[in-house]
Amino acid sequence: MIALVDCNNFYVSCERVFAPALEGRPVGVLSNNDGCVVARSEELKALGIAMGAPVHLIPPALRRQCTLLSSNYALYGDMSRRVNEVLESLAPAVEPYSIDESFLDLSGFGPLEAEALAREIRERVRRETGIPVSVGLAPTRVLAKLANRLAKHGGGVRYLAAQAPVTRALLEALPVAELWGVARRSAERLTVLGIDNAWSLRQAEPTRIRRALSVVMERIVWELRGHGAIVMDDLDAPRRHLLVSRSLGRPTAAAHELHEALRQHVARAGEKLRRQGSLAQAVRVVLRTAPFQVGRGAYHSAALVTLPTPSDDTRELLRAARQALAAVYREGYRYQKCGVMLMGLAEAGAPQERLLAEESAETVRRRRLMATLDRVNRELGRDTVRLGLPRHDSGWALRCANRSDRYTTRWDELLRVHA
């Protein structure tokens, strides 16, 4: 048995925990740069505002009725951790899947036992974190995903058996594109094969599906039949590459502004790299104009610079990023986004190995510097210490006009609640 625990309207729910006045009101949370709506309360959905809707396209009259908040990832990340803590205290094996969902491996559980546990999970998570969750139960992940959707529409807990008339009816009524793992492209190709609902996909010959589409789709067929075929990748496993990129607050053609934005991205990427204990072999810089810009004004390119030796030193990453930027930058375009990607990540030697290895004084100094930098920034707040000159008033900086306080990770901001 697999359970999928999914937080309801997660970002909005996080905001409501600390601002109960938002309860019952249409509330949305915006993407970075306050660009589009990425989370909606039920009340906001009822107003007809779509997932991903660009804010500037929402009619002003409608906009005045709702509360639209900038995203506050420090808060959501911490709340997500708390939810998983509760899950871990109740379930034998938890596999976090995204910031607001976790699969639970309930091998050996029967439907009744699983439902009882699911109800307890709902109650405990709600009581201990304030976040409402729904639980879907089924023999496989694809079916658990579906069960979760049903749970959201009532009751909060739902079990779906692989072999049951109700499951068949459900799958027959479900367009294939609404399945987890099937999006527009695959749906189109399935339609050509005469497969347009989830039941006909389930009845299809797996090898035929593999030939016509891919092994990924074949696994979905098996999952629909009740045979587990999808294994979760370990989210704790070190990443193979790592990307930090942001839209600029406003487009710019100025190389020095891109350079400044990039410097911040590289600093962030370096922190992430050291946190997972890896070294990067190369640095790639990506630059582009607005995606809606077409024709002569459009530009989208990247440049890769290989490091002399694999490194996790922000200064070396910066040097490479500077070269890459120079290679990719073209005058006369208004750039909307830039990013840095660290490639070819490999594990740095384990600390014990490092002790045994011959290390130059310079290497040791370098690592101490980076470790200190990370610690200061972790304990005293991001960007307390930075490489290069700080510029706080830059036009390229991210817009987030309406962000709530970081209640759970910053004492100073929590205390503001009572100020």
Q: Is residue 12 a contact point for DNA (CB under 7 A)?
A: no
Asked if 182 interacts with DNA (CB under 7 A), we say yes
Give, in degrees to the nearest 5, the angle at Cα 201 between 198 and 206: 150
Binding status of residue 325 toward DNA by CB under 7 A? no
Considering the rule CB under 7 A, would residue 299 count as an interface residue with DNA?
no
CB of 116 to DNA, least distance (A): 26
Shortest reach from residue 6's CB to DNA, in Å:
8
Q: Figure out which of the listed residues 165, 233, 256, 418 binds DNA, where binding follows CB under 7 A.
A: 233
Is 303 a binder of DNA (CB under 7 A)? no
Considering only the stretches 87-95, 185-193, 201-209, 318-326, report the one whose residues sit in contact with DNA under the rule CB under 7 A: 185-193
Among positions 16, 40, 141, 145, the unique one binding DNA when judged by CB under 7 A: 145
Contact between 253 and DNA by CB under 7 A: the answer reads no
Among 141, 146, 339, 373, indicate the residue that binds DNA (CB under 7 A): 339
By beta-carbon proximity to DNA, the closer residue of 118 and 179 is 179
Binder among 41, 102, 140, 247 for DNA (CB under 7 A): 247
Task: Determine, following the binding rule CB under 7 A, whether residue 33 of this chain makes contact with DNA.
Answer: yes
- Per CB under 7 A, the list member of 70, 245, 394, 402 interacting with DNA is 245
Which residue among 24, 46, 52, 173 contacts DNA (CB under 7 A)? 52
Site residues for DNA, window 75-134 (CB under 7 A)? 97-101
Among 23, 46, 169, 185, binds DNA (CB under 7 A): 185
Binding site for DNA (CB under 7 A): 31-33, 35-36, 38, 52, 54, 56, 97-101, 145, 179-187, 210, 214-216, 233, 239-247, 250-251, 272, 290-292, 336-337, 339, 398
